[in-house]
Amino acid sequence: MATAVRTNTDLAFQRCLTPDCGATYDVGEVRTGCSECGGLLDVAYDWDRLPVPDSLQVFEQKWARRNDPLCRSGVWRFHELLPFAPPEKVVTIGEGQTMLCPSDGVGKFVGVNSGGLFLEYEGLNPSGSFKDNGMTAAFTHAHTISAKRAACASTGNTSASLALYCGISKLMQAVIFIGSGKISYGKLSQALDYGALTIQIAGDFDDAMQRVREISEKLGIYLVNSVNPFRLEGQKTIMYRVLEGLSWQVPDWIVVPGGNLGNSSAFGKAFLELRELGLIDRVPRLAIVNAVGANTLHELVEVRGQRWNGGRVDHQAAGEYYQELDKGERRASTIASAIEINRPVNYQKCLRALDVCQGVVREVTDQQILDAKAQVGASGLGCEPASAASVAGARLLRREGVIAPSDRVVCVLTGHQLKDPTATVAYHTTDQQEFNRVLGSRGVKRAEFANRAVAVPNDLDEIIRAIQLNS
Ligand code: F0G
C-alpha cells in the first residue's frame, strides 16, 4: 500500500522491534513488518517532547469531562499514552467503558484469599469483546491515511469489531476472512448484520491469516489484525484501566488467554512504557494461557525454552515447530474457538512481554476451560470459552504454587458470554446426546458445575412442586 502523509511529525514513529535492527518508519506508513529484517514493528514515541502527565491520577480528571467523546472513551481518555494521531482524526464509538470487578466466588475457585481476585470484564465493549480497544486505534490510523477498505482474518471477534466500526462510521468497507465452520454464531451474526463483506474460506484461522496478508498487500486494503502495531496501542489501555480500578496499585498477576498474542504483547508494552516514564515503580507478572489444542506459545516457551534474549529471538526454532505441525498435519483444535490458532503473528513481541513481566505460559484443557467458564458465569458476569482460559490458568498456577494465596490476581475476561452460546448450553444441558455432540468429541467428560433446566409437564401443581423441590 502507498505511503501516506505524516500525521504527527516525528513525535511518533514506527520502529522495528529487533534491537539490532531498530529501523524506523514514518507513522503515516502502512506496514505490518520491518522491510530490513522482517521483524514486527512498535509504535514508538519521542516522550521527551510530548506532554506526558507526571502521575496516572491525572487521567481520573477526565471522568468529569465525559461530554467530550475523547474523554468518554476508555481508550482515548489515555490519549497522552498513545499519541500517534491528532485528536480530530480519532474515530471513537465509546469503547473501553469496561470495569474491573472483584469476585470472591471465582477467587475461591482459583484458590486465592478473599479480595484477591479481579475480573477485567472486556465483554462490555460495544461489539462485546476487548477487540474494540484495538480497533478504534487501528481504525483511527486507517482514517488518518484515508483508507477506504479495511480487512482482517478472524476467529470472530476482530471481524465483529471491524464490521461495527465500519458500519457506524461509514468511513470504510469491512472485508473479513473467516475459516469455514470455525466461528461461533454470535460472532458471525455480528459481521453479517453490520454489513461486512464476509469471505468464508475453506480452511482455518491460520489459513485465513496468511491469505488476508497476501490479499491486503496485493489490493492495497488496510489490514487491522494485531500484526498492525497501531491496534496494540489501543489494547494497552486495558491495563491502564486495570490499574485505575486498583487505585493505581500494580497487581501481582495479570492472566490472559493467548491466541494471536496481541493482547499479551500490548500489555507488555504498556508496562514497559509506564515504567520507563516513571509512572509505575514495578510491573506485574504476566501469565498467558493457551488451550491444549492450540498451544504453540506453551510449546515454544515452556517446553523448548525459547526466550526474548535481548531481542535476539531464535526464529528458526519457531519455523521448525511449524514444519513439524505441517508434517503431522496438526491443526489447532479447541472449544475455545477464539484462540484456536497455531501460528500466532505476535510471537516475537509476546516474548518481549514475557521478558518484561517475568511471564509464564500455561496450557489448559477444554474441560478446565468450560469448568472455569461455568464458575465465571455463576459469579454473575459470564464470558465466552476463550476468556475463561485465564481463570483456568490462574487456578492451575495457584495449584502449582506459582501464584500464592495472598497474591492479587487480575484475570482478563476478553469476550461476552453471549458470543458463543452453543458451548454454554451444551455444558448445562440434560441432553446427553447434545453434550456428546458438542463437547464429548473434544474430550470434555463432565459438567461439574452445570445448572440444568428442570423439565416439567404443563401442569400448575407439577410446576409448583418442581419449584419447591429445587429451591
Ligand atoms: N479472547 C477472545 C475472546 C478473542 O477473541 C481472542 C482473539 C483472544 C482471546 C486471543 O487474543 O489474539 O490477542 O492473543 N481473537 C482474534 C479474533 C484472533 O480474530 O477475533 P490474542
What are the tens digits of pLDDT across the range 296-308? 999 999 999 999 9
> Do 384 and 265 belong to one domain?
yes
Q: Which residue has better confidence, 412 or 1?
A: 412
Which residues span the domain enclosing 328? 54-129+228-471
Q: Is residue 467 included in any domain, yes or no?
A: yes
Q: Is residue 141 included in any domain, yes or no?
A: no
> Do 60 and 23 belong to one domain?
no
> Do 44 and 110 belong to one domain?
no
What confidence score (pLDDT) does residue 180 get? 86
**224-251: buried (b, 16+ CB within 10 Å) or exposed (e) per residue?**
bbbbbbbbbbbbbbbbbbbbbbeeeebb
- What is the average per-residue pLDDT within 366-394? 97
> Do 419 and 359 belong to one domain?
yes
- Count the alpha carbons within 13 Å of 303 in the hemisphere toward its beta carbon: 11
Give the pLDDT confidence of 75-133 residue by residue, as tens digits. 999 999 999 999 999 999 999 999 999 999 999 999 999 999 999 999 999 999 999 99
Q: Is residue 158 included in any domain, yes or no?
A: no
> Do 393 and 304 belong to one domain?
yes
What confidence score (pLDDT) does residue 9 get? 54
Give the pLDDT confidence of 440-469 residue by residue, as tens digits. 889 999 999 999 999 999 999 999 999 999
Q: Is residue 197 included in any domain, yes or no?
A: no
pTM of the model: 0.96
Mutating to test ligand 1, I would choose from 119, 414, 417, 418 the residue with most ligand atoms within 8 A of its C-beta, which is 414
- Maximum pairwise Cα distance, the chain: 77
Alpha carbons 98 and 89: distance in angstroms, whole number: 23
Alpha carbons 359 and 221: distance in angstroms, whole number: 35
Q: Is residue 87 included in any domain, yes or no?
A: yes
Check pLDDT > 50 for residue 3.
no
Which of the 8 DSSP states describes residue 261? S
- What is the average per-residue pLDDT within 154-169? 97
Give the pLDDT confidence of 201-238 residue by residue, as tens digits. 999 999 999 999 999 999 999 999 999 999 999 999 99
Whose CA is closest to 153, among 188, 106, 199, 218? 199
> Do 320 and 423 belong to one domain?
yes
- What is the average per-residue pLDDT within 234-258? 98
Mutating to test ligand 1, I would choose from 40, 119, 129, 177 the residue with most ligand atoms within 8 A of its C-beta, which is 129
C-alpha to C-alpha distances, 11 to 28, 42, 84, 93, nearest whole angstrom: 12, 14, 8, 26
> Do 35 and 120 belong to one domain?
no
> Do 258 and 291 belong to one domain?
yes
Q: Is residue 450 included in any domain, yes or no?
A: yes
Adjacent-strand bridge partners of 435: none
Q: Is residue 223 included in any domain, yes or no?
A: no
Q: How does DSSP assign 161-199, residue by residue?
A: HHHHHHHHH-SSEEEEEEETT-S-HHHHHHHHHTT-EEE
Alpha carbons 299 and 283: distance in angstroms, whole number: 25
Ligand 1 residue neighbourhood (C-beta within 6 Å): 129, 131, 154-158, 226, 257-263, 338-339, 384, 386-387, 414-415
Check pLDDT > 70 for residue 363.
yes
Mutating to test ligand 1, I would choose from 190, 339, 419 the residue with most ligand atoms within 8 A of its C-beta, which is 339
Whose CA is closest to 123, among 447, 315, 376, 329? 376
At which residue does the C-alpha cell 476482530 appear?
Answer: 158
Atom index in ligand 1 nearest the CA of residue 288 equals 14
Check pLDDT > 50 for residue 251.
yes
What confidence score (pLDDT) does residue 8 get? 42
Q: What sign results for the dihedral spanned by CA atoms 461, 463, 466, 470?
A: negative
Q: Is residue 142 included in any domain, yes or no?
A: no
CB 366 within 8 A of CB 439: yes
Q: Which residue, by CA, sits nearest to atom 4 of ligand 1?
A: 338
Count of domains forming the chain: 2
